[in-house]
Structure 1
């Protein structure tokens, strides 16, 4: 009895291998559509190459590789079937930057680095965490509770969009109106 269950298991493996090989051949021939990757390969991040100017290089450029999709909002925006506009994406990225900056904790130890001292002198500047908290509070006031949850989850906490696509788009429209149409 144990031998027959082992034979059944081996035959199932061989059948699945044959199905996989048949599907692979059909995809390569162009007669079947590629279902795409699943698992960790499905969230593989796309790398792009940009040319940046070298400081003091007299107009020379250098090729630099970077990740194109840095967060869940980027992956949603670059999706082929995405209905996110560039203005909504910009509003979401602004919210993300403010959210991350507002979550930064204050320094506990003192630094004697001159660059750090020069940067930290402006209390009203956009690099200040209290300014970022005000920006996040202002944004959350104009949103409904469902839109707040969707924007904080996707833009702030970098969760997948899932079933919140429409809610996210409506909330980002409100943020774009708040920040860019003044």
Structure 2
């Protein structure tokens, strides 16, 4: 085994240990729930649609109901959109970060995407667009696009998640035009 393979084996062992520790913690914290799922309800794992219907959707309903209790001014669609931000945070953040990285480079992309997701959450709650003033040192704000552009992109990601890609394509095209104009101006200079 060479040094690289040895390092890979050590890293794999570390990650496997972390996963096993997480599993042990879950078994200690939720033994009755895990036993119930793996014995009484194990058949739901035979069909993905059944699992979604009786597993995921029930869990989602509990959390959406909690959101409605915490934010009673939100209508049903706003509750679903707000819940999406939390339920699919990693996906939303990752998509925005990748989108920004391709257009602005890797510097500060995770800060920008995290800031955008947080602003999107506030936008869903209040309908107030975030301040996009780009003062010196505001590395956490995207270089191009208006607040509406970015909130539209976040909303479009939710709609895309629900199965409709049209709005997502429209908004990304609109932002791409802004970034392409900057490249054209740089090339002319």
* TM-score range relative to shorter protein: under 0.3
TM-score by length of 1: 0.27
Larger radius of gyration: 1
Bigger relative CO (Cα 8 Å, ≥ 6 apart): 1
More helix by proportion, 1 or 2?
2
More strand by proportion, 1 or 2?
1
